[in-house]
């Protein structure tokens, strides 16, 4: 290993530029940061400009057909950049990572032969070696395809974060999924469920804190299935892990995503009652309000079970707000099934949501189910579902106006000077006038305006003026 690192460093001595484009979920955002961390010691520095890059990584998502299509159209564009660089005698590496890489493997190079590297989500700790192979002397140069699920835990090989995210950071605690919902590619692209040990997670949380993070979002494809090795060999669940992260001095806010209703146990519900630093906001995907469809989806929960969890959460933490995911037009979904989803939305009430038309994914059981719906039927249902959900989101945002809420300022605003972007406890985006030095602080903000996807607010004059 040591010798390999030495060889790798020798090969890539001068500084090189790396551009990463990320699609998909928060886990992919986390992975992209880690790829940059893994490549930093061998000389790669991040750039926002693909045309200036010596290496471009597309970190991809396979969840719906559209997500996958985007990768190939982007590759077509990048080929021109690569050709232009080659005409100037410069070598640019083009890599496809993430879930499309895992699902399609070699096929990507067959379809786009100018791609140099294809590697799945469980192999990127090996990037320095893969880059060395792809760069190789011309005689030895080879294309790299690595879609293994190695037995060694990737996390043990990842360096500590070197490119901090700012005040709000992601921390992967669990990866993979054993649930096998019939519509979903994730169990095939991310592999079996794996929980990191508590000590490694706490070390990473402290490291993020030392780099300026005060909010940590614990990530996992099935985050509440977390069962990691704790002190004395005991297994620790998510509720206890959150308590341990919340004890770290300097960490002010903890969140977690994405959860599955089946794994929402009492300890975790109690954590919402007992841990002030755990934010009163939860993303809990349901997918459908119809038990028949949930069964066909292999979701392992009913609509009533979901509503019971919502009730228990609201009892534990009366100010909690919920967000969810829906799929409309699953094979065999009738108008009556669909209306059960609308009824569930009315009963549960959601502050935020994501909803999608069902997209058949190759290799998943639902792709072969009878009763595929026409595109126009799916579109019409999605519109009705979103009209109802958006009316709830707007009402929730409007209910915040006039209140004073703590806001974590996480970055400069996009608009005019001295506008900051922040997040409320409910993860709402908020734009507030304030000095850049306030970034990283949590301050009370009076909410003055509500929009469908964000809020406006103002700081006390003293806080705004303070030098
Ligand atoms: N692990 C999470 C979510 C994973 S994917 C969970 O268990 O809920 C994010 C969302 O994409 C899902 O919640 C689902 O709503 C949507 N999705 C997944 N597969 C899909 C498909 N084949 N077609 C449409 N939407 C899909
Ligand atoms: Fe996909 Fe279901 Fe696993 Fe979520 S729980 S990642 S939707 S298979
Ligand atoms: Fe997409 Fe893979 Fe995440 S398919 S949603 S990037 S786990």
* Å from CA of 308 to ligand 2 middle: 21
**pLDDT of amino acid 417:** 73
Unique residue bearing structure tokens 């991040």 = 46
Check whether 164 has a pLDDT greater than 80.
Answer: no
404-465: CATH homologous superfamily? Nucleic acid-binding proteins (2.40.50.140)
Longest dimension (CA), the chain: 69
**pLDDT of amino acid 403:** 97
**pLDDT of amino acid 5:** 53
CATH topology of domain 3-146: Rossmann fold (3.40.50)
Write out pLDDT tens, residues 170-212: 999 999 999 999 999 999 999 999 999 999 999 999 999 999 9
**pLDDT of amino acid 150:** 78
CATH number of 281-399: 3.30.750.200
pLDDT bin (cut points 50, 70, 90) of residue 215 is very high
CB 184 less than 6 A from any atom of ligand 1: yes
**pLDDT of amino acid 137:** 63
Which atom belonging to ligand 3 lies closest to the Cα atom of 60? 6
- Which DSSP letter does residue 172 get? E
* Å from CA of 174 to ligand 3 middle: 14
**pLDDT of amino acid 143:** 82
Indicate the average pLDDT of the chain: 93
List the domain boundaries for the chain. 3-146, 160-279, 281-399, 404-465
pLDDT bin (cut points 50, 70, 90) of residue 157 is confident
Write out pLDDT tens, residues 34-58: 999 999 999 999 999 999 999 999 9
Check whether 282 has a pLDDT greater than 50.
Answer: yes
Average pLDDT estimate for 389-412: 97
Its CATH class, for the domain covering 160-279, is: alpha beta
**pLDDT of amino acid 2:** 44
**pLDDT of amino acid 3:** 47
Cis before 258? omega within 30:
yes
Higher pLDDT: 467 or 59? It is 59
CB 99 less than 6 A from any atom of ligand 2: no
| Type and span of the H or E element at 56 | strand 55-60
Unique residue bearing structure tokens 């297994």 = 235
**pLDDT of amino acid 178:** 96
Q: For the whole model, what pTM was predicted? A: 0.94
Query: How far is the C-alpha of 370 from the C-alpha of 292, rounded, in Å?
Result: 14
Write out pLDDT tens, residues 27-36: 999 999 999 9
CB 186 less than 6 A from any atom of ligand 1: yes
Q: Are domains 160-279 and 281-399 of this chain identical in fold? A: yes
| Nearest residue by C-alpha to atom 1 in ligand 2 | 184
Per-residue tokens: 125: 């700790």
Which of 77, 82, 15, 19 lies closest to 48 in space, CA to CA? 19
Beta bridge pairs of residue 217? 170, 255
Neighbours of 135 (CB within 10 A): 18
Per-residue tokens: 466: 């303070």
| Nearest residue by C-alpha to atom 1 in ligand 3 | 61
| Nearest residue by C-alpha to atom 12 in ligand 1 | 325
pLDDT bin (cut points 50, 70, 90) of residue 315 is very high
**pLDDT of amino acid 67:** 86
Check whether 87 has a pLDDT greater than 80.
Answer: yes
Task: Find all residues with CB under 8 Å of 304, minimum gap 6, and list them.
Answer: 291
Check whether 8 has a pLDDT greater than 90.
Answer: no
Check whether 465 has a pLDDT greater than 60.
Answer: no
Unique residue bearing structure tokens 């039927």 = 377
Select from 26, 29, 184 the residue to mutate for testing ligand 1; criterion: most ligand atoms less than 8 Å from CB.
184
pLDDT bin (cut points 50, 70, 90) of residue 142 is confident
Check whether 467 has a pLDDT greater than 50.
Answer: no
| Nearest residue by C-alpha to atom 8 in ligand 1 | 285
Write out pLDDT tens, residues 409-435: 999 988 767 899 999 999 999 999 999
Higher pLDDT: 282 or 132? It is 282
């Amino acid at each position: 290993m040591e010798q390999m690192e030495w060889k790798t460093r020798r090969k890539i001595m001068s500084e090189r530029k790396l551009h990463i484009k990320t699609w998909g979920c928060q886990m992919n955002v986390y992975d992209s940061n880690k790829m940059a961390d893994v490549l930093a010691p061998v000389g790669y520095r991040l750039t926002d400009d693909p045309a200036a890059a010596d290496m471009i990584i597309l970190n991809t998502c396979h969840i719906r057909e559209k997500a996958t299509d985007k990768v190939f159209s982007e590759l077509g564009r990048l080929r021109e950049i690569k050709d232009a660089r080659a005409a100037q005698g410069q070598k640019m590496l083009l890599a496809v990572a993430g879930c499309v890489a895992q699902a399609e493997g070699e096929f990507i190079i067959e379809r786009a032969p100018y791609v140099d590297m294809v590697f799945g989500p469980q192999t990127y700790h090996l990037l320095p070696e893969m880059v060395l192979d792809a760069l190789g002397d011309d005689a030895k140069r080879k294309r790299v395809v690595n879609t293994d699920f190695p037995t060694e835990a990737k996390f043990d090989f990842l360096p500590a974060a070197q490119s901090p995210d700012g005040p709000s950071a992601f921390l992967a605690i669990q990866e993979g999924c054993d649930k096998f919902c019939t519509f979903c590619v994730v169990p095939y692209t991310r592999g079996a469920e794996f929980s990191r040990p508590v000590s490694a997670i706490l070390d990473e949380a402290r490291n993020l804190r030392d780099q300026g993070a005060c909010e940590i979002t614990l990530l996992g494809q099935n985050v509440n299935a977390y069962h990691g090795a704790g002190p004395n060999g005991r297994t620790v669940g998510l509720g206890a892990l959150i308590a341990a992260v919340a004890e770290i001095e300097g960490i002010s806010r903890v969140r977690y995503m994405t959860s599955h209703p089946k794994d929402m146990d009492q300890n975790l519900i109690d954590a919402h009652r007992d841990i002030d630093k755990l934010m009163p906001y939860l993303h809990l995907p349901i997918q459908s309000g119809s038990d028949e469809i949930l069964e066909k989806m292999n979701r392992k929960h009913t609509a009533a079970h979901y509503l019971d969890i919502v009730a228990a959460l609201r009892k534990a933490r009366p100010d909690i707000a919920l967000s969810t995911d829906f799929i409309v037009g699953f094979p065999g979904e009738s108008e009556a099934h669909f209306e059960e989803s609308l009824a569930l939305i009315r009963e549960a009430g959601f502050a935020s949501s994501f909803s999608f038309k069902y997209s058949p994914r190759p290799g998943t059981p639902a792709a072969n189910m009878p009763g595929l719906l026409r595109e126009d039927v799916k579109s019409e249902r999605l519109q009705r579902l979103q009209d109802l959900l958006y009316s709830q989101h707007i009402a929730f945002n409007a209910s915040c106006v006039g209140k004073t809420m703590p806001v974590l300022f996480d970055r400069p605003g996009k608009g005019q000077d001295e506008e900051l972007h922040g997040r409320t406890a409910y993860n709402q985006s908020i734009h507030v006038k304030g000095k850049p030095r306030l970034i990283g602080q949590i301050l009370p903000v009076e909410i003055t305006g509500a929009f469908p996807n964000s809020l406006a607010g103002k700081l006390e004059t003293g806080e705004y003026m303070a030098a």
